[in-house]
Amino acid sequence: MGRKVDMMPIEEGDRPKTCPICSESVPMGAAFCPKCGARLTKGISEEVNPAVMDLIAQFERRVRNNPKDAAAYYNLALAYITAQRWGAAVQTLERLRELEPDYIDGLFQLVRAYIRIGNVDAAEHIAMHMTNVAPKDHKTERARRLIRRARKPKLRKV
């Protein structure tokens, strides 16, 4: 019940160049596949909460039945994020952005998701839009902090 994760450090040479799930090309340094959201780290045992999977199915039905329901897209994306399906979250949040281009909560989640799949440039582009839409909003500030943190070089212990 819940999510079990056993993470081991991974060397850059050990990281797959294509996703083992969907065969999509994977950017260097990405922790997740940009297309399907599969984790690209060794030693993972995953068990997603069945209630989260039920929510995903429920919101997928809502989106299919009403493709212009922005709230359904946002809730579906949050369910994907809870299940750590970051690629699916990105796709869903991009569709939400088409419907509601200035929805700050959706844009913030999109920044988070892009960072998690290793696409910091796309996250920065979204954060710049957030700055234009709501420069003083706390989520805009948080998005900028997340990007600064993602851009910092990682130090390795010797």
Q: Taking a C-beta distance cutoff of 8 angstroms, is the pair 78, 109 a contact?
A: yes
31 found inside a domain? no
Q: What's the confidence (pLDDT) of residue 16? A: 55
34 found inside a domain? no
The parent domain of residue 83 ranges over 49-151
119 found inside a domain? yes
24 found inside a domain? no
pTM of the model: 0.71
Residues 133, 69: Cα–Cα separation, whole Å: 22
Q: What are the tens digits of pLDDT across the range 49-97? A: 788 889 999 999 999 999 999 999 999 999 999 999 999 999 999 999 9
CATH code of residue 137: 1.25.40.10
Max distance between CA atoms of the chain, in angstroms, equals 54
> How many domains, the chain?
1
SS3 54: helix
Q: What's the confidence (pLDDT) of residue 17? A: 75
3 found inside a domain? no
Contacts of residue 90, Cβ cutoff 8 Å, sequence gap at least 6: 34, 37, 110, 113, 114, 117
147 found inside a domain? yes
Contacts of residue 41, Cβ cutoff 8 Å, sequence gap at least 6: 7, 8, 10, 31
Question: Scanning the structure block, which residue is given the tokens 């083992």?
Answer: 20
15 found inside a domain? no
67 found inside a domain? yes
